[in-house]
Amino acid sequence: MLSSTPLQPALQQLGHWQGRLSLKVIQEPPEQFTANFEINGRPEQGELALYSPIGTTLAVARWSPDGAQLLQGQKVQSFVSVQAMTQQLTGNSLPLPQLLAWLDQDGADLPGWTLTSENTPNNRRVFAKRQTPLPLLELTLVIDPRP
């Protein structure tokens, strides 16, 4: 399975994004999760760190072809896939590898999802809405410009 050591510098060079995310679950009652994020890697192998608005690490998710790990404080959980891990992390299975393709430019369509994006002078925004399976989800990523 995955090691609990930080990502290799070479992996970080493959992709680095940071910004803010909001995940809304459209159900009764509705739920919303917001966090700052930092992603290093690529769709096949990478790391996603989620931070509170004051900078506290909420969770670190790592994935590779061998599976995925979720680190929350001293607790480490292993999963067979990124989808199983995101189910545990957010309560819903998210297509994290496919969404990575949208962080710099528009990527491929994703079945069950409507994806749109916009570039502004200050950032890039990716809007993803899942219609199937239920519940409906709305994911917004605001990606900060690279220095």
Domains of the chain: 9-143 (2.50.20.10)
Query: Is pLDDT of 101 > 60?
Result: yes
Cα 66 from Cα 69, distance rounded (Å)? 10
Query: Is pLDDT of 3 > 60?
Result: no
pTM above 0.85, yes or no: no
% of the chain surpassing 90 pLDDT: 62
Residues 6+ apart with CB under 8 A from 12: 40, 41
pLDDT single digits (tens) 128-138: 999 998 899 99
Give one DSSP letter per residue of 19-87, joined into a string: EEEEEEEESSS-EEEEEEEEEEE-SSSEEEEEE-TTS-EEEEEEEETTEEEEEETTEEEEESSHHHHHH
pLDDT single digits (tens) 51-90: 999 999 999 999 999 999 999 999 999 999 988 998 877 7
Cis peptide before 135 (omega within 30 of 0): yes
